[in-house]
Structure 1
Amino acid sequence: MGFDRFIMVDWSGGNDRGPRPKRDAIWIGEAGRAPVYCRNRAVAEAHLTARISDALDAGERLMVGFDFPFGYPLGVAQALCDGDTLALWDWLESRIEDSSKANNRFDLAGEINRRFPGQGPFWGNGLKRDIDGLPRTKAGYENPFADKRLSETRTKGTFSVWQLAGAGSVGSQALMGLPVLARLRRQFPVAAWPLEPWDDAAVVFTEIWPGLIEPAVARHAGIRDAVQVRVLAEGLNRLSPARLNAMLSVDAPDAQEEGWILGLGHEKELLAAMSLTPPPLKNDCFALPPGVDWTPVDEALAMLQSRLTCVCATETVALGHAAGRVLADDVTARRSNPPEPNTAVDGYGFAGALVGEGDIVLPLVDGRAAAGVPYAGTVPPGQACRVLTGAALPDGVDTVVLDEDCATSGGEVAFRGPVKTGSNTRRAGEDVQEGQTALSAGRRLTPADLALAAAVGLSDLPVRARLRVGVLSTGDEVVPAGSTAAQGQIYDANRPMLLSIAERLGHVAVDLGHVGDDRDALRARLDVATQQVDVVLTSGGASAGDEDHVSGLLRETGALAEWRIALKPGRPLALGMWQGMPIFGLPGNPVAAFVCTLVFARPAMGLMSGAGWQEPQGFNVPAAFSKRKKPGRREYLRARIRDGHAEVFKSEGSGRISGLSWAEGLVELPDGAQDITPGTVVRYIPFGSFGL
């Protein structure tokens, strides 16, 4: 049996850490939710109590992991509590005194030490005052028990449960955490793995060690404690029930007394679940075939489609935060929609097979069926029941007659037959059946998708991380909008346009600013970008001139493909890789940059984001213009629809930015020659088909 919810906890044995989130505090991570900062143990215990209650109320099975030992080395439980580790939890809970500003963990450790000969087993007095029996360091230390448990001896980087102060003082975490677990265990149906049978428990507590997932944690920025609980919770949520159960099936000796670390011995599977990032693109993925010079648009698009892959990892988010995200996996319905047969109208229900033709009069049963308030009994054959829209059909009812077609009096209902069996009812699962695929991977989730997901019982969804699109302007002649432009300088129109396009397409738009005609500065900016984004759109510097530094720098790295596309506007398109990061070098002209982004970068970024390659939907409409087009390249004209006809902007000049604002779409003219007159059918692609 699998788990529906995963919560991971990074614990602390110290005092209140204040209101602002910080490291070395308590962090609680849950799959599909942002990590929660808890300033002290009382706040954390209250949060856990609420989340466990929520899971149980929802009928969900819950795993909660804590990053401190559940047990002590062999012999400790026997010496203190007759060998029962869970009894030792209660023993500690009865003795630990805890408040937000102080606790007695050092004094209790000294009391325990005094029960044994020598200087130990606990060490590390973190208080200014001396404590009888508790040494400040390991100098002269004598431990009557093993320094580490079996699981810790098999794990790199673990600390001893006996250490109470200094870096890695896991002993303090255990002394202050086990009492909380003891209280939660008394309050809820909890099984502590692997100390007791857990297979059928509604809530399972597990011991975790973040060091097992260090490679996955290291890839993320942010407060480390928050990152590791989030990454681990999401990784466990991605594991199949079979793999997770294999991790939970521990046959190590003495694990039922000492406890065990979840995932120990299964590190590769655990990291694989947390690292669902596809392999990086090859540096030659943009290279043209030998001998190819001018590239037709369709061939360029086909090469992009065949060579690019998804680069976004998978994560799980709550339903309410999934709008606009790309679904990473097919999701199946947990519940049928509708979940049970129900009525589509207000009216009267009965068994349809028993009703014939002519005037029908049926006695009414007492009571009614309403949405959320079902009829409690069975409607006998030959009788009817009052039913309201959305109500579950009572037993004995399969047909409903509309209110307006009925007359009632004296506990009877009259209507005219015949009535088709099943009329005005909805079958259980007639929309979606339990176990059926409700939504398919690659779909960018819409509000309607979220409604469907909620209706079939889904509370969170596996989605792709958003593609991070960096936008960089280049050139000495470009200055920011609103600044003072000197003679020969132009305002940066491309950067706000491209950032807006990236956002409208559902990606994370990252402003990389502007770099002048300085190759070293451009190199440094791209180096930084590799840590910030997944793909870069540059504008300007993409041709082969002396000051075309984008193409020049990419050429130096050996990862440049200058595609001369048979396209108007926007023939030069520099495609390259920078330390594994794709770069689309767009023309500097805003109209050409706009068209190349929609035609080439948009579907490419969709593929990289996990949404797949998406062709824009065009429509055949009559032209309201005349044009004689030469063969050899595809053309895109700024256009809009008026009175059912496509009209185009008055000028085809690629410097006329006002035409982009005037237009509502593009007219696409094919590669061959064409003589267009008013009424000629042309292909019109509205900006909405591009996702704008």
Structure 2
Amino acid sequence: MTGFDTVLTVDWSAAKRKPRRQSKDAIWLGVARGGTAQQQIYCRSRQEAEAWISKFLEEEQAAGRRVLAAFDFPFGYPRGFARRVTGSDDPLALWQWLEERIEDAEDGSNNRFDVASAMNRLFAGAGPFWGKPDQKNWPDIPYRKAGISYEEVAERRSADLAAKASSSCFQLFFNPTVGSQTLMGVPVLQRLRLRHKAAVWPFEKVETAQAVLAEIWPGLIEPAVKAAMAVAGPEEIRDRVQMRLLSQALGRLPAEELAAMLAAAPEAAQEEAWILGTGYEDRLNALAADEPGRLAPPPLSNDCFALPAGVDWTPVDDALQLLKDRLGPVTGGETVPLADALGRVLAEDAVAERANPPLPNTAVDGYGFAGGRAEGPHVLPLVQGRAAAGVPFDGAVPGGSAIRVLTGAALPDGVDTVILEEDVSTDGARIAFNGPLKRGANTRKAGEDVSADEVILPAGRVVSPADLALAAATGLAELTVRLPLRAGVLSTGDELVEAGEPAGKGQIFDANRPMLLALMRQLGFVPVDLGKAADDRESLRAHLDGAAARTDVILTSGGASAGDEDHMSALLREAGAMQEWRIALKPGRPLALGMWQGTPVFGLPGNPVAALVCTLIFARPAMGLMAGAGWQAPQGFEVPAAFEKRKKPGRREYLRARVRDGRAEVFKSEGSGRISGLSWAEGLVELGDGPGHIKPGDPVRFIPYGSFAM
């Protein structure tokens, strides 16, 4: 197994729980796919970070993607330290020893100084650990390094010296506190390692592992970080920039270069660990640098859903046009083999590497010669040999002679016309046939189908099996495609319970989430189940924080109005990115739109019928844009009505419908609580904004579910 599909970089912290507002010196995570940095995640605590990373690895492994997870603290200690503590030189035995002893509370309080004290007592004299918040507590830990003799174990590892890292894994306090980061990080690594069967580099073989844990140091790309900070300005958080650029650099490394880095660890690293990329600093900085030509979509602004001044009720067509104008691609790109490109969205034009057909060839089995022939009988001598597909004739055919040719064969020199085998008599030395025959008959010209350097598939196209045939025929082995849009689905409300769970009085089963998750998969997106959030603002905030880090777009149902328990709307307003579109639509009038930490949020109605209609009419084409596939309007057809209905003006209506005997039937009830109508229907009948009286036989617009890719 070579290369990694996804790179996760982790900037760890030994600090106490951080505030809700994104800040420095916290835990920051960076994710890159296909060499493009996708997102940077802010975690307030080590518990939150561990849960996020574990869930991330689980989802990546389930999707069949190979992950490199790189952490910015030492994976090991100087040679001899593990044996003194555990009786073994195995660094993973020390991991287990620490995991069994380190205690860490959600608020950040922990016992790392107690554990370090216990380890110091195993060594003669002072140290090796030093540094603490005050001089009185933990008497086994020196307050300062002065007086510690690093004779039993070295102060720094070989990796620290090679990378010119100034810190030591024995320094527990006073910046940089790498020692504390290690004590608080190694137990997390041990749990992740066991939980996800991850291999640890360089302690274990990693060639066939789906998840690999490795040590990194952001200082290796300091020039690239400085350059990016100079552009971003003082308000930017340095840790976030580091994780973006580091994940980007590792993700852009060709598989063979990354394999060389992994193989570069010296013998000492088997016990002490090694910093990935040491000795390759120039290469990593070059790859980390932001490149203007790379496919990296711009972020959406918080006010991208803002309605024009004075707009209250929004007609459906106006709402669709606003979405079309305001949204654009949000996913990066990657280059994949043809076999992996089916159903993906092209990130750039696919250009033919060679013509199809590459050479003039014959369209039939028969005999080839030069020039057409007039009406009447003709006899031509045959040259020895033949031309077949993949076995060209080696030589030229003299004028006035013919040669045996088979379908698909490249035309030999001296041949531009072919006569069908059925129209010829032959004795093996000559052929006889009757004219007339036009010059060029039964042949194909070079490039007749596609010319070399011609655009064969435009950016934004969803790749089909036929597209793969065309790409292969024109010499392409790979296509550059968009990363799949990751669509998160979140249900809200205390009244919801999972199907199969006991439902109490006043509770209902959650129908929206299974419906919308299945719809996302059917539409070609990656569905991300965000679970359900209770009617509690802090709980919902935590769900949204996690969702923004894992998805490209969030679909929520419920809580999108303005009532006491409508926390979704309240949180979006608090973030300064809430827009409530009161759309002239039935069913599903309110549609809350907003941004949460840079991720678009579609707040759908809680009613399943309205939730599905709003998703199909509004979210589906909008997500097509965000996925890079462009705006995809559904195809409707006029058919006679098999029903009668009077309609008031002011709102566009969508009726659950199906076609029988060429006529559109509608569900017996328009009540939006009748979920059975969604299953009964095979599409929607669209009734315009104005008044109407539809009678049986009148033409109506029927939009089959298939037009939405359902």
TM-score range, shorter chain: 0.5 to 0.7
Q: Distance in 2 between matches of 1:419 and 1:290?
A: 73
Q: State the match for 2:346 in structure 1.
A: 327
Q: Distance in 2 between matches of 1:325 and 1:212?
A: 36
Question: Which residue of 326, 330, 348 maps to 1:311?
Answer: 330
Q: Distance in 2 between matches of 1:518 and 1:571?
A: 24
Question: Which residue of 243, 251, 270 maps to 1:218?
Answer: 243
Residue 377 of structure 2 aligns with an amino acid whose one-letter code is D
Q: Distance in 1 between matches of 2:4 and 2:510?
A: 47
Question: Which residue of 543, 556, 573 maps to 2:591?
Answer: 573
Q: Distance in 2 between matches of 1:565 and 1:264?
A: 50
User: Where in structure 2 are the equivalents of 1:347-496 lying within 5 Å?
Assistant: 347-353=366-372, 355-496=373-514
Q: Distance in 1 between matches of 2:255 and 2:622?
A: 28
Residue by residue over 1:553-603, the C-alpha shift from the partner in whole angstroms, topping out at 9 and shown as x without a partner, is: 222222111111111111111111111111100011111111100111011
Deviation, structure 1 residue 304: 0.9
The 3 A distance-change label for structure 1 pair 213 and 685 is farther
Residue aligned with 2:505, SS: coil
Name stretches of at least 5 consecutive residues in structure 1 with no aligned partner. Answer: 11-28, 33-100, 102-134, 140-146, 159-166, 168-208, 237-258
Question: Which residue of 352, 360, 374 maps to 1:341?
Answer: 360
Question: Which residue of 294, 301, 312 maps to 2:313?
Answer: 294
Asked if 1:282 is matched to 2:301, the reply is: yes
Asked if 1:679 is matched to 2:697, the reply is: yes
Residue aligned with 1:538, SS: strand
Residue aligned with 2:412, SS: coil
Q: Distance in 2 between matches of 1:492 and 1:30?
A: 36
The 3 A distance-change label for structure 1 pair 630 and 31 is closer
**Contact 2:650/2:689 (CA < 8 Å) preserved in 1?**
yes
Residue by residue over 1:313-354, the C-alpha shift from the partner in whole angstroms, topping out at 9 and shown as x without a partner, is: 12111111111111111121111111111111222222233x
Deviation, structure 1 residue 273: 6.5
Residue 218 of structure 1 aligns with an amino acid whose one-letter code is M
Deviation, structure 1 residue 30: 10
Q: State the match for 1:666 in structure 2.
A: 684
User: Where in structure 2 are the equivalents of 1:3-18 lying within 5 Å?
Assistant: none
The 3 A distance-change label for structure 1 pair 475 and 331 is same
The 3 A distance-change label for structure 1 pair 261 and 374 is farther
Residue aligned with 2:348, SS: coil
The 3 A distance-change label for structure 1 pair 264 and 520 is closer
The 3 A distance-change label for structure 1 pair 413 and 467 is same
Q: Distance in 1 between matches of 2:598 and 2:292?
A: 23
Residue 654 of structure 2 aligns with an amino acid whose one-letter code is Y
Q: State the match for 1:511 in structure 2.
A: 529
Name stretches of at least 5 consecutive residues in structure 2 with no aligned partner. Answer: 8-32, 37-89, 91-150, 156-160, 168-181, 183-219, 226-239, 258-278
**Contact 2:250/2:284 (CA < 8 Å) preserved in 1?**
no
Q: Distance in 1 between matches of 2:633 and 2:567?
A: 32
**Contact 2:378/2:435 (CA < 8 Å) preserved in 1?**
yes
**Contact 1:493/1:590 (CA < 8 Å) preserved in 2?**
yes
Residue by residue over 1:398-442, the C-alpha shift from the partner in whole angstroms, topping out at 9 and shown as x without a partner, is: 222222223322422233211122222111111110011111111
Deviation, structure 1 residue 303: 0.8
The 3 A distance-change label for structure 1 pair 563 and 453 is same
Percent identity, aligned pairs only? 63
Residue by residue over 1:10-61, the C-alpha shift from the partner in whole angstroms, topping out at 9 and shown as x without a partner, is: 9xxxxxxxxxxxxxxxxxx9999xxxxxxxxxxxxxxxxxxxxxxxxxxxxx
**Contact 2:642/2:697 (CA < 8 Å) preserved in 1?**
yes
Residue by residue over 1:446-468, the C-alpha shift from the partner in whole angstroms, topping out at 9 and shown as x without a partner, is: 11111111111111111111111
Residue aligned with 1:371, SS: coil
Q: Distance in 2 between matches of 1:512 and 1:377?
A: 68
The 3 A distance-change label for structure 1 pair 345 and 536 is same
Deviation, structure 1 residue 394: 1.4
Residue aligned with 1:284, SS: coil
Q: Distance in 1 between matches of 2:333 and 2:309?
A: 37
Q: State the match for 2:266 in structure 1.
A: none
Residue aligned with 2:254, SS: helix
Residue 339 of structure 2 aligns with an amino acid whose one-letter code is G
Deviation, structure 1 residue 509: 0.7
Q: State the match for 2:655 in structure 1.
A: 637
CA RMSD of aligned residues (A): 3.6
Asked if 1:231 is matched to 2:272, the reply is: no
Residue 530 of structure 1 aligns with an amino acid whose one-letter code is A
Q: Distance in 2 between matches of 1:264 and 1:640?
A: 58
The 3 A distance-change label for structure 1 pair 449 and 379 is same
**Contact 1:234/1:316 (CA < 8 Å) preserved in 2?**
no
